[in-house]
Each structure stands twice: as structure tokens, then as C-alpha cells.
């Protein structure tokens, strides 16, 4: 395959990739190509020649081409993907940054009766204006098990990839940066303000990917700006979700609580990259990653996710990571932020339903609610905390019918 064919390898974080010379040529990336806003084209030492590493918005042309190739295989893998989710005890799944073609594909599958679980899409922010103007594009309402819930915005990048946007610099070397290396925002403040203003004016729910605290500052500022522009209260219940909120500061969590914004955490980072975060960011920041304990004390309805395919789909592993916060080396990444098993379970059940404005029909076992639940082979509330990740899903029930059985 190499070196004659164009090859692009996507990093598991979804925030960068590496292209060979043929792929760079195919996408017209040369020494004269400027870094796009919100992105970076890494260069050879002492040269402007690209070395193949493209980060954030610089990777978009490569990802777009890759998706064009893979989209033809969507139907082929649709059933097996759903089976993978049901085997892991998932009855409602979410697909984010969903383009209009994928929305149409999902709805077609739903209308043909091919959904085994409920599926929620978050449309990409670049299509917000067009989506709002399209009378055929509806939000927040299921049709045969599928719905578009709102819009996803990308505010920054990956902390382990050193592209997340921080108010203070990384402690270690950052490729392509030589001074005050704090990552970078994916959008400028004006662009984010405009997106928030348009979404809030049309009651469109926003989900904003924000890892670094500087990106979260931008999100809060955009929220305040949009509320003022639309003459709306800052504490209106919009269910604005700040995805990851990975390195949120304590006072930002307090702002979330005042403004009725909710964090969707990603505690799997403690295991997969906790040691790296301590090295890159220092203990103070690393130990406060995905702070469920602090969020719970403020009354926030936080969720917790796998960000598949960044980490494996496994709610029980995610519960384990929230409760233990143990890294791959065995270090505890912020003991004070360890969740109780009950808090960790709420983050993937009742609070997850709340995030999608489904708390009246899902998330808890109550009369009148949808019969979506799982049967486990052990009780996560009573087993030793370090054994939670070994619990197995024995059966998954969707709408009262078994969709997986061990």
C-alpha cells in the first residue's frame, strides 16, 4: 500500500491524524498551505514542509474523504453495531456530529423497522442554519425509534493530544508550539456566540465538546451573550450540555449549576490517560478531571460516557472508572473525586435520560415508563469497587422485549 497509495490514519481521539505524502498531495496540503483556523499542520524541523500530522480542523478534509468511502458500508454494519450495543446493556444510543446524509440514513433504517434500540443524533454545527430552515428536519421527537435531539459544537481538541484549550500552559513539549502552549480553540468567540444565539432563538438544544478550561470559559461567555441577545434568562432550563468538561475549574462547575447547564463527563480518562495528564498538566488539574463528586455536591445532573470509539463501549467499565479513578499504572487520579457506585450509575441511567429530556419516560424503573433495563450477573452496589468492571450483562430488555441474552 505504501508509499504509492494515499493513506490516512485517524487517531483514536478523533482530533488528529497522520497522512502520507500521497495523501497530502491528494488533499493539496503543501509547504505553502496555511494552518486553518482552529487547526494545525505540523511541519518538518526547520522547514515549512508538512510532516504528515494534521490536527483538529486541518484533518477535516481527510476525515470527510474517509467518511465518503465508509458511508457506502453503513447498512452492512448497522445490525452488528446495534448487537454490540445491546450486548453492553445499552437501550438508547447517541451519534454525534451527524451530517444530513447520515440523519436520512438513520431515519430510513428506523422507518424500515430495523432499530433494536432507540437512536439519537446530534447534528453538526456547520449545518445549524440549514437544519433550522428545513421544514423536513425535526428535533426532539422520536419517529420509529430515531430522533435528532439538537446540535453538537466542537470548541476545542484533545487533552492527551495537547490540542485541548487551557488557560494555563501544558507542562511538557507540544508539537509545533514553542511558547505559551495552551492548545487551541476550534472556533473563535464571535463564531461561537453566533451559534449559541441562533440555537437559543430557535430552542435548539446544544451539546458542546469542551475539554480544556479555556474552552469552557468560551462556552459560558457564549451562553451569556446569547441570553442577552435573545432577551432570555441565563438560568432557563435549556439542557445545554458541556461534553467532557474534562478539566472544568471548580468555579465553572458552580456557574453550570447557576445557569442550569450540565456536564457530561468522561471518567475513562482517569484509566486510559490519567498518568499522561499528571505529566502534561500537573496533579492539581489532572486530579480534578471529570469531577463527579464535586458536581454531585452542587446538585448537577452530570452524565458519563465512553466517547466511542475513543474508548470501548461499556457502561459498566465507565461506572468502574468513575468509582475507582485508577490509571493504567495503578495510580489513583484524584481520590477526592471518586464517585459512589450509586452516583456513577445515575450518570449512565437517570441523568442520561434527563440530558435528552426523556426523564419522564426513561432512566428509572417506575410505573408508566418505558421498560428499558438490563439484568446483571452481579450487583454494582455491593461488589467490591474494583470488581465492577467484571460484571456482565446477562440480559438487555428494550420496550419490554429481550434484545440480548447471554
SS (H, E, C) 16-54: EEEECHHHHHHCCCCCCCCCCCCEEEEECCCCCCEEEEE
Q: How far apart are the first and last CA of the chain?
A: 41
User: Beta partners for 122?
Assistant: 96, 150
| Spatial separation of the C-alpha atoms in residues 143 and 141, rounded to whole Å | 7
Residues 360 and 326 in one domain: yes
Question: Could you read off the pLDDT tens digit of each residue along the chain, which spans 406 residues?
Answer: 677 888 888 887 778 889 888 888 888 899 989 888 888 888 888 888 998 888 888 888 887 787 777 767 777 889 999 999 999 999 999 999 998 989 999 999 999 999 999 999 999 999 999 999 998 899 999 999 999 999 999 999 999 999 999 999 999 999 878 899 999 999 999 999 999 999 999 999 999 999 999 999 999 999 999 999 999 999 999 999 999 999 999 999 999 999 999 999 999 999 999 999 999 999 999 999 999 999 999 999 999 999 998 999 999 999 999 999 999 999 999 999 999 999 999 999 999 999 999 999 999 999 999 999 999 999 999 999 999 999 999 999 999 999 999 9
Q: Which domain holds residue 49?
A: 8-69
With respect to residue 315, please indicate whether it lies within any of the assigned structural domains: yes
- Judge whether 384 lies within some domain: yes
Which of 21, 46, 69 marks a domain boundary? 69
125 to 61, 96, 371, 393: CA distances (angstroms): 16, 10, 33, 35
| Contact criterion met (CB below 8 Å) for 307 and 265 | no
Residue 193 lies in a domain: yes
- List all residues 6 or more positions away from 13 whose beta carbon is below 8 Å from its beta carbon: 158, 160, 161, 310
Query: Pick from 49, 69, 89: which residue ends a domain?
Result: 69
Q: C-alpha distances in angstroms, 272 versus 66, 281, 306? A: 26, 15, 11
By C-alpha distance, which of 357, 359, 358 is closest to 238? 357
Residues 42 and 141 in one domain: no
Q: In this structure, are 108 and 25 located in the same domain?
A: no
What per-residue confidence (pLDDT) applies to 21? 87
Q: Please report, for residues 174, 277, 315, 318, 380, the alpha-carbon distance to residue 266 in angstroms, rounded to integers and kept in the order given.
A: 23, 14, 11, 8, 19
Looking at the structure, tell me whether residues 127 and 145 fall in a common domain: yes
- Asked if 332 and 378 sit in the same domain, the reply is yes
What's the CATH code of the domain at 186? 3.20.20.140
Is 246 in the same domain as 123? yes
Domain assignment of residue 209, yes or no: yes
Write phi, then psi, for 210 (nearest 5 degrees).
Answer: -145, 110
Q: Clarify whether residues 44 and 122 are in a common domain.
A: no
What is residue 120's predicted lDDT score, i.e. its pLDDT?
A: 98
Residues 212 and 195 in one domain: yes
Rounded (10°) CA dihedral 162, 163, 169, 175: 60
Question: What total number of domains does the chain contain?
Answer: 2
Does 27 share its domain with 129? no
Please indicate, yes or no, whether residues 17 and 109 belong to a single structural domain of this protein. Answer: no
Per the domain annotation, does 405 fall within a domain? no
Q: Give the residue from 224, 225, 229 showing the smallest Cα distance to 201.
A: 229
Same domain membership, residue 172 and residue 35 = no
Residue labelled with grid coordinates 446493556: 89
Same-domain status, 45 and 119: no
What local confidence, expressed as pLDDT, does residue 156 receive? 97
Indicate the SS3 state at residue 157: coil
User: Is the bond into 396 cis (omega within 30 degrees of 0)?
Assistant: no
Beta bridge partners of residue 254, listed in sequence order: none
Picking from 22, 47, 69, the residue at the C-terminal end of a domain is: 69
**For residue 106, is it within any domain?**
yes
Q: Is the pTM of this model over 0.85?
A: yes
Question: Is residue 406 assigned to a domain?
Answer: no
In a domain, 240, yes or no: yes
Amino acid at each position: 500500500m505504501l508509499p504509492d497509495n494515499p493513506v490516512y490514519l485517524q487517531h483514536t481521539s478523533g482530533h488528529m491524524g497522520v497522512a502520507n505524502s500521497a495523501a497530502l498531495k491528494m488533499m493539496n496540503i503543501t509547504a505553502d498551505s496555511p494552518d486553518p483556523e482552529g487547526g494545525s499542520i505540523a511541519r518538518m524541523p526547520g522547514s515549512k514542509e508538512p510532516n504528515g500530522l494534521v490536527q483538529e480542523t486541518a484533518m477535516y478534509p481527510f476525515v470527510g474523504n474517509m467518511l465518503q468511502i465508509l458511508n457506502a458500508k453503513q447498512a452492512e454494519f448497522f445490525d452488528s453495531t446495534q448487537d454490540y450495543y445491546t450486548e453492553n446493556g445499552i437501550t438508547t444510543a447517541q451519534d454525534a456530529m451527524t451530517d444530513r446524509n447520515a440523519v436520512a440514513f438513520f431515519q430510513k433504517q428506523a422507518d424500515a423497522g430495523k432499530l433494536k434500540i432507540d437512536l439519537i443524533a446530534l447534528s453538526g454545527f456547520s449545518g445549524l442554519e440549514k437544519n433550522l430552515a428545513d421544514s423536513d428536519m425535526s428535533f426532539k421527537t422520536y419517529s420509529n425509534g430515531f430522533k435528532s435531539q439538537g446540535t453538537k459544537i466542537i470548541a476545542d481538541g484533545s487533552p492527551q493530544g495537547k490540542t485541548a484549550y487551557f488557560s494555563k500552559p501544558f507542562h511538557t513539549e507540544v508539537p509545533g508550539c514553542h511558547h505559551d502552549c495552551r492548545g487551541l480553540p476550534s472556533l473563535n468567540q464571535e463564531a461561537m456566540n453566533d451559534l449559541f444565539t441562533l440555537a437559543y432563538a430557535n430552542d435548539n438544544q446544544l451539546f458542546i465538546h469542551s475539554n480544556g478550561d479555556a474552552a469552557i470559559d468560551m462556552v459560558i461567555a457564549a451562553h451569556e451573550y446569547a441570553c442577552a441577545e435573545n432577551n432570555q434568562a441565563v438560568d432557563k432550563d435549556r439542557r445545554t450540555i458541556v461534553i467532557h468538561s474534562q478539566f472544568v475549574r471548580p468555579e465553572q462547575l458552580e456557574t453550570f449549576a447557576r445557569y442550569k447547564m450540565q456536564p457530561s463527563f468522561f471518567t475513562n480518562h482517569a484509566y486510559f490517560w490519567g498518568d499522561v495528564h499528571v505529566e502534561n498538566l500537573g496533579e492539581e488539574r489532572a486530579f480534578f478531571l471529570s469531577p463527579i463528586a464535586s458536581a454531585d455536591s452542587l446538585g448537577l445532573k452530570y452524565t458519563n460516557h465512553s466517547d466511542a470509539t475513543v474508548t470501548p463501549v461499556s457502561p459498566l467499565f465507565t461506572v468502574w472508572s468513575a468509582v475507582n479513578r485508577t490509571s493504567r499504572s495503578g495510580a489513583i487520579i484524584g481520590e477526592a473525586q471518586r464517585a459512589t457506585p450509586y452516583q456513577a450509575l445515575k450518570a449512565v441511567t437517570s441523568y442520561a435520560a434527563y440530558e435528552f429530556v426523556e426523564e419522564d419516560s426513561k432512566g428509572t424503573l417506575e410505573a408508566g415508563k418505558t421498560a428499558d433495563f438490563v439484568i446483571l450477573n452481579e450487583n454494582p452496589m455491593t461488589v467490591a469497587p474494583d470488581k465492577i468492571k467484571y460484571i456482565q450483562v446477562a440480559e438487555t430488555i428494550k420496550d419490554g422485549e429481550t434484545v440480548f441474552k447471554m
